[in-house]
Chain A
Amino acid sequence: MSACTRDELMTIAAARLLWNRCVCFVGIGLPSAACNLARLTHAPEIVLIYESGTIGTRPDVLPLSIGDGELADTATCVVPLPEIFSHYLQAGRVDVGFLGAAQIDKHGNLNSTVIGAYDAPKIRLPGAGGAQEIASHAKQTFVMLSATPRSFVEQLDFRTSAGFLEGSGARSRSGARGGGPRAVITDFGMLTPHPQTEELQLTALFPGATVDEACSKIGWPLAIADRIDAIAPPTTSELETLRALNARTQAAHARLVHIPL
C-alpha cells in the first residue's frame, strides 16, 4: 500500500478520538471523512448529525455539501434546521462538534470570517455557518486544519468562534455551556489545551514528524508538553476503509445527473 498522505493521517487520527454511540455534529470535508471512518471501523453506532437536519445518518459515500440527498436517504430522521440548532445543539444534546477555520490562536479561538478588516477585507471567507454555536454548545470540539504560520497566528483577524478566549478559565466564566476545544488535529500531529492555562501545547506527533517541524509551522512560540505521544501509524484496515470510502465518493460525485423533463 502506498504511503499515507497528510490528509489520511489527520482523518484517521481524528476518527480514533470518537467513540461508539457518541453524538457527533459533523462538518463537511475532513471531519465528515473522519466521522464516517469511525462509523465504518470501531464506532458502528455513532450518531452523526449534519446541520442540514439529518440525524443518525449512515451515508455510503461522503457528501460534497452538508445537505446531499445521500444524507437524507440514510438518516434515522430528518428535522427542520431550526430544530437542529435549538432542540439538539443548544439543548446540550451533542457530545462532539468538529470545526475547521482559516485561523486559530493559541487558545483555540477560530476565524472563518475574514482576512484583513471586516469592512475592507483582503479575503472574504464564508463566515460562521454553524460554527459559533457548535463552538459554544457542543460538550467538546475537535478542530482540524492544516498548519502554516498564516493559519496558526498570534492574533486572529476576526473571532468567529470562541475557544478558551484568553485562557485560564476565561471560557468557563463567560457562560459558555460547552467544554471548548479538546484537541487540534493538524499536519504534524496534535495540540491539546494545558489543563490550567488552556494554552494549546504539542502533545502528540505523527510518525516521522518532529518537534522542530511543529514549531516552524506555528506562528507563536509553541508550548511543548513534558510527554509527547507517538501517534500509531494507520492500520491496514483503517487505511483500506478510508481509501475505499474516498474512491466510492469520487465515483458518485462524477455521476451524471438526469433531469426527468
Chain B
Amino acid sequence: MLLPLADAIERFVPDGASIALEGFTHLIPFAAGHEIIRQRRRDLHLIRMTPDLIYDQMIGMGCARKLTFSWGGNPGVGSLHRLRDAVEHQWPNPLQLDEHSHAGMAAAFCAGAARLPFGVLRGYLDTDLAAHNPNIRRVACPFTGELLAAVPALNPDVTILHAQRADQEGNVAIHGILGAAREAAMAAKTLIVTVEEIVEKLSPAMNGIVLPHWVVSAVAQCRGGAYPSYAQGCYARDNAFYRNWDAIARERERFLQWMDRHVRGTRDHKEFLASLEQEAA
C-alpha cells in the first residue's frame, strides 16, 4: 500500500507501541522518526541496535519509555547526550533500559523473524550484563548439555526501514550495508518502508535484498529520508552533521531550540532539509 509518510505513522504507530527503526548506520529512517516526533507520540518502546541520533532526538523529545539497544554512542564522535541525560537524570522522563550486545540483539531479531520464542548464542560469558538484564539467561543444549546464552525473540509492533526503491506493488529493494534490517523487518507485526523512489518495475536482483510486497504494510516515498544517515548510491553519510550534533545535543535548551526550529517547526522532511540548508546559507 502506497501512503504518504504522515498517514502511515498516524495509522500504524499508536502511543505505547514497540517500534524498531532499523538500519545499521546506513539507511536510518530519520524522516519517519521526525514524523513520529511531529505527531507527538508518547510511551514508545524504542528498539534499535545503535540508537544513533534519531533515538537521541526521540528520547530528548519525550517519545520513549523504554529502550532496547546494544550500543548507544555517536559513532566516531562520543556520547548521545540526550540518551545520557535520560539515563543519568531521568530527563525529560525516566527511560527503562533493556541492554544487550550486538550479537545478542541480532539473535533476538533472527528468532523474532522465524517466530521462535528465543534466540541462542555463545555469548555474554563472564560479563556483568546478564546480572542486570533478566532477559539474558542460560539454556542447556539438549544434545550436549553445553550452557548457552538465550535471549527472548524481538517482535516489534512496527518496524520502520528506509530503502533505495520500491515498485508500485510495494516490493522493496535494498542494497549496501544491511545491519539487521531484514531480520527486524521480518520480525515485525507491521512493516513500514520509506524509499528514495518508487519505480514501475524493480530490476531483477537474484541475491539482492527484496522484501516482497505481502510482508510490507505500507510504502511511503521520501527522498533524502535517511539524511543525515545515507542511502548507498543516492547520497553519502553527512559525517559533519554527526560531529556537529555533539554540541547541539549537549545542553537541553539548545537541543529543544534546534528541534523546534528544524523538526517541530517544519511540516515534512522536505521542509526539514530546506531549513537546514537555509541555516547553512
Q: Is B250 an interface residue (CB 8 A)?
A: no
Which residues of chain A come closer than 8 Å to B18, judged between CB atoms? none
State A65–B147 Cα separation when bound (angstroms): 34
CB contacts (< 8 Å) of A133 on chain B: these are 101-103, 121-123
- In this complex, the interface size class of chain A, counting residues with CB under 8 Å from chain B, is 35 or more
| Nearest CB in chain B to that of A171: its residue | B126
CA distance A247 to B26 in the complex (A): 24
Please state if B128 and A158 are interface contacts (CB–CB under 8 Å). yes
Residues of B within 8 A of A52 (CB): 24-26, 177, 179
CB pair A253–B239 under 8 Å, yes or no, is: yes
Q: How far, in angstroms, from A52 to B25 measured CA to CA in the complex?
A: 8
Contact mask for chain B residues 91-133; partner A; CB cutoff 8 A; 1 contact, 0 none: 0000000011111001101100000000001111111110010
Select one of A67, A71, A125, A259 contacting B179, CB under 8 A.
A67
Query: Which residues of chain B are near A137, meaning CB under 8 Å?
Result: 122
The contact string, 1 if C-beta is below 8 Å from chain B, for chain A 247-261, is: 000001111111111
Complexed CA–CA distance, A25 and B228 (Å):
26
- By the criterion CB–CB under 8 Å, are A132 and B129 in contact? yes
A127 within 8 A of B: yes
Q: Is A136's CB under 8 angstroms from B122's CB? A: yes
**Residues of chain B contacted by A177 (CB below 8 angstroms):** 122
Establish whether residues B235 and A259, one from each chain, have CB atoms under 8 Å apart when the complex forms: yes
Cβ contact within 8 Å between A132 and B270: no
Q: How does the 8 Å CB contact mask read for A1-43 relative to B, with 1 for contact and 0 for none?
A: 0000000000000000000000000001100000000000000
Count B interface residues, CB 8 Å: 64
Write out the residue numbers on chain A whose beta carbons fall within 8 Å of the beta carbon of B106.
81-82, 85-86
**What is the bound-complex CA distance between A65 and B239, given in angstroms?**
8
Stretch at the interface among B1-9, B34-42, B79-87, B212-220: B79-87
Chain B, residue nearest A32 (CB): B76
A64 interfacial by beta-carbon distance below 8 Å: yes
Known A82-B110, A126-B72, A257-B236: A174·B127 in contact at CB below 8 Å: no
**B75 to A64, Cβ gap below 8 A?**
yes
CB of B210, distance to nearest CB on chain A (Å): 14
Q: How far is the CA of A252 from the CA of B125 in the complex (A)?
A: 39
Contacts A51-B102, A162-B127, A174-B126 given: A81-B236 contact, CB under 8 Å? no
Rounded to whole angstroms, the CA-CA distance of A165 and B128 in the bound complex is 12
Per-position 1/0 for A38-62, Cβ under 8 A of B: 0000000000000111100000000
By the criterion CB–CB under 8 Å, are B223 and A259 in contact?
A: yes
Q: Which residues of B contact A121 (CB under 8 A)?
A: 87-88
Q: What is the distance, in angstroms, from A261's C-beta to the closest C-beta of chain B?
A: 5
**A129 → B minimal CB distance (Å):** 3
Give the residues in chain B near A128, CB-CB below 8 Å: 70-71, 99-102, 127, 129
| Interface-central residue, A51, A79, A129, by most chain B CB under 10 Å | A129
Of A67, A86, A136, most buried by chain B (CB within 10 Å of CB) is A67
CB-CB nearest in chain A for B86:
A124
> Contact flags (1/0) for A158-200 with B, using CB distance below 8 Å?
1111100100000100111100000000000000000000000
Other CB < 8 Å A-B pairs besides A65-B75, A82-B109, A159-B128, 16 of them? A51-B102, A67-B177, A69-B26, A69-B237, A71-B177, A72-B26, A80-B179, A81-B49, A85-B103, A85-B106, A121-B88, A128-B127, A253-B239, A253-B243, A255-B236, A257-B235
A residues neighboring B (CB under 8 Å): 28-29, 51-54, 63-69, 71-73, 78-82, 85-86, 89-90, 113, 118-119, 121-133, 136-137, 158-162, 165, 171, 174-177, 252-261
Residues of B within 8 A of A (CB): 24-26, 49-50, 69-73, 75-77, 79-80, 83-84, 87-88, 99-103, 106-107, 109-110, 121-129, 132, 147, 176-180, 182-183, 223-224, 227-228, 230, 232, 234-243, 270, 273
Q: Could you pull out 16 A-B pairs where Cβ atoms are within 8 angstroms?
A: A65-B239, A67-B75, A78-B176, A81-B180, A82-B109, A85-B121, A126-B79, A129-B70, A132-B124, A162-B126, A176-B126, A253-B239, A257-B238, A259-B273, A260-B235, A261-B273
